[in-house]
Amino acid sequence: MTSTGSALLSSGRDHRGPRTPQADVPRSSGGAAPRPASGRIAVAIGIGVRPGTESARIVRAVDAVVGQTAVVCLATIDRRAAEDGVRGAAATLGVPLIGFTAEQLAQVDVRHSSERTSAAVGAPSVAEAAALLAGGGELICGRTIVEGIVVATAAMIRREEGPN
């Protein structure tokens, strides 16, 4: 039971304890990244992975890029969001998993696009585009490759609650 562009997996526990911000988190110009009530920088993580990637590798790659920054969600292309490794990584990180269609990802302007990625999945970017769509804010950390996994982060914009 999945829906495009909505949370696919939610876990209320962070198995590694609370995540706090790094002092040297890069930010693009145009203002500081939004902070949750705790004062921590909040980011959406976009990932690009090959089929069958193990959750432990994904978690190591995310940790290498974000350190102790507050992670709000993990986002990727919908076909990878359905895989056990990606779902397991979101559960380990204690965040919801969001999947986007190739068409949604292809509509996003990104810093790094790839003809190879476009040919493989139908969108020139997965990690950066997914981070930007999920977070709604500016790109904080562009395409970074760790252990063959592409990771990008975007500032999380607080969404206004609609009328009940």
Residue 19: closest CA among 76, 59, 77: 59
pLDDT, residue 150, reads: 96
Mean pLDDT of 52-77: 95
For the cut 50, the answer to whether the pLDDT of residue 13 exceeds it is no
Residue 100: closest CA among 128, 143, 130, 122: 130
66 Cβ contact list (under 8 Å, min separation 6): 19, 22, 43, 45, 141, 151, 153
Mean pLDDT of 23-52: 62
pLDDT, residue 33, reads: 41
Mean pLDDT of 42-65: 96
Any idea what DSSP says for residue 54? -
pLDDT higher at 83 or 13: 83
pLDDT, residue 40, reads: 63
Helical residues (DSSP H) of 6-142, grouped into ranges: 55-66, 78-81, 84-93, 102-106, 115-121, 127-135
pLDDT, residue 142, reads: 93
Beta-carbon count within 10 A of 111 CB: 12
pLDDT, residue 22, reads: 33
The helix (run of H) or strand (run of E) holding residue 48 is strand 42-48
Task: Quote the mean pLDDT of the chain.
Answer: 78
Beta-carbon count within 10 A of 144 CB: 17
Q: Hey, what are 105's tokens?
A: 């990802």
pLDDT, residue 20, reads: 33
CA–CA gap between residue 67 and residue 141 (Å, rounded) = 12
For the cut 50, the answer to whether the pLDDT of residue 2 exceeds it is no
Predicted confidence band of residue 26 (pLDDT cuts 50, 70, 90):
very low
**Contact assessment for residue 53 and residue 83, using Cβ atoms and an 8 Å cutoff:** yes
For the cut 80, the answer to whether the pLDDT of residue 137 exceeds it is yes
Predicted confidence band of residue 35 (pLDDT cuts 50, 70, 90):
very low
* pLDDT tens, residue by residue, 96-129: 999 999 999 999 999 888 899 989 999 999 999 9
Mean pLDDT of 55-61: 97
Any idea what DSSP says for residue 95? -
pLDDT, residue 158, reads: 67
